């Protein structure tokens, strides 16, 4: 079932704001300042959400909206460390004007279905990436299928991940995966410390791809899967594809949009 869309998703004027903030001292102080200036409403009543904190708080907020199946635009103010998904916290007096002038960026999460060794099925969404990781010192051995066709018969290494364009600058980049432009509608399939095939750099796939990972020798070489923060251990098989009916909207100040940050990230030395 797709998540509910509101008038704010169609470009209508945003008037009612909800507020979410992290437990950090800076975020709580900023929240007090904002609540003195604005009358915030619940997410159920809001046209958009203001998020105070870092990328972790933003991801938590997006996941919470997916859980309740009500998706509205989100405008983040960086009071964390990196703040890749956030805007600068330059004061709050013009907050409503900034939100309505913001550039809208569509984000499509991944839908993961994991089958464990004992036959349980676990489902979750990922904004950044779905990653498979070895649980012990034993090298993981993973078969990779794309749209039902075997592409890698056996990947031996620490694991493998599938990242969205948003997530391509996170764990994917640390694993030497490619940075994907936000509007590319592509996915990054990236090995993690591969042993065999040693020189396989990974692949860039259309976002319409359905990717299946099958764990070889799962009892001897146990593997966990992580969809953003949610972990499922001792898996046998994982299916991943874009959840097109759960498109989310991030709001960015003009000139500081996520697509420009993704391009700029490629020139950092």
CATH assignment of the domain containing 26: 3.40.50.10330
Mean predicted confidence (pLDDT) in 108-122 = 97
Q: Which residue has the higher pLDDT, 76 or 183?
A: 76
Q: What integer best gives the mean pLDDT of the chain?
A: 90
Whether the per-residue pLDDT at 209 is higher than 60: the answer is yes
- H helix and E strand count, the chain: 5, 16
97 in a domain, yes or no?
yes
Cα separations in angstroms, 29 against 34, 37, 52, 56, 115:
9, 13, 10, 18, 43
- Residue range(s) defining the domain that contains residue 180: 110-242
pLDDT in tens, 118-173: 999 999 999 999 999 999 999 999 999 999 999 999 999 999 999 999 999 899 99
Q: Does the annotation mark 234 as catalytic?
A: no
Residue 78 shares a structural domain with residue 153:
no
- How far apart, in Å, do the first and last CA atoms of the chain sit? 43
Q: Which residue has the higher pLDDT, 261 or 98?
A: 98
Residue 256 shares a structural domain with residue 197:
no
Is 56 annotated for ligand binding?
A: yes
Whether the per-residue pLDDT at 186 is higher than 60: the answer is yes
Residue 12: what pLDDT? 60
Whether the per-residue pLDDT at 5 is higher than 60: the answer is no
Residue 139 shares a structural domain with residue 238:
yes
Residue 133 shares a structural domain with residue 230:
yes
What's the token pair of residue 99? 């939100």
Residue 232 shares a structural domain with residue 159:
yes
Residue 71 shares a structural domain with residue 23:
yes
Mean predicted confidence (pLDDT) in 243-247 = 90
Whether the per-residue pLDDT at 254 is higher than 90: the answer is no
Of the candidates 9, 47, 55, 228, the residue annotated as catalytic is: 55
Residue 234 shares a structural domain with residue 251:
no
Instruction: Determine which of 14-18, 35-39, 106-110, 260-264 has the lowest per-residue pLDDT on average.
Output: 260-264
Whether the per-residue pLDDT at 1 is higher than 80: the answer is no
Residue 234 shares a structural domain with residue 128:
yes
Is 240 annotated for ligand binding?
A: no
pLDDT band at 67, cuts 50/70/90?
confident
Residue 190 shares a structural domain with residue 164:
yes
Say which residues have a Cβ less than 8 Å from residue 263's Cβ, sequence separation at least 6: 181
Is 83 annotated for ligand binding?
A: no
Residue 43 shares a structural domain with residue 153:
no
The domain tally of the chain equals 2
Is 21 annotated for ligand binding?
A: no
Is 129 annotated for ligand binding?
A: yes
CATH number, domain containing residue 192: 2.60.200.30
Distance of CA 165 to the CA centre of its chain: 9
What's the token pair of residue 14? 């945003």
């Amino acid at each position: 079932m797709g998540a509910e869309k509101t008038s704010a998703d169609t470009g209508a004027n945003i008037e009612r704001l909800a507020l979410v903030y992290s437990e950090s001292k800076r975020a709580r102080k900023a929240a007090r300042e904002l609540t003195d200036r604005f009358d915030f409403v619940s997410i159920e009543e809001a046209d958009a959400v203001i998020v105070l904190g870092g990328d972790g708080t933003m991801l938590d907020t997006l996941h919470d909206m997916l859980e309740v199946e009500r998706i509205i635009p989100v405008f983040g103010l960086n009071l964390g460390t990196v703040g890749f998904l956030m805007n600068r916290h330059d004061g709050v007096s013009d907050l409503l004007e900034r939100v309505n002038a913001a550039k809208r960026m569509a984000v499509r999460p991944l839908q993961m279905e994991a089958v464990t060794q004992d036959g349980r099925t676990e489902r979750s969404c990922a904004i950044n990436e779905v990653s498979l990781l070895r649980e012990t010192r034993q090298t993981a051995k993973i078969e990779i299928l794309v749209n039902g066709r075997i592409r890698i018969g056996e990947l031996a290494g620490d694991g493998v991940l599938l990242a969205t364009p948003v997530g391509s600058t996170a764990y994917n980049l640390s694993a030497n995966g490619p940075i994907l432009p936000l509007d590319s509608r592509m996915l990054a399939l990236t090995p993690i410390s591969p042993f065999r095939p040693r020189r396989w750099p990974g692949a860039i796939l259309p976002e319409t791809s359905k990717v299946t990972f099958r764990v070889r020798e799962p009892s001897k070489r146990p593997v966990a899967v992580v969809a953003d923060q949610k972990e499922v251990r001792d898996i046998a098989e994982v299916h991943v594809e874009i959840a097109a009916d759960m498109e989310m909207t991030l709001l960015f100040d003009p000139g500081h949009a996520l697509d420009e940050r993704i391009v700029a990230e490629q020139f950092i030395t």
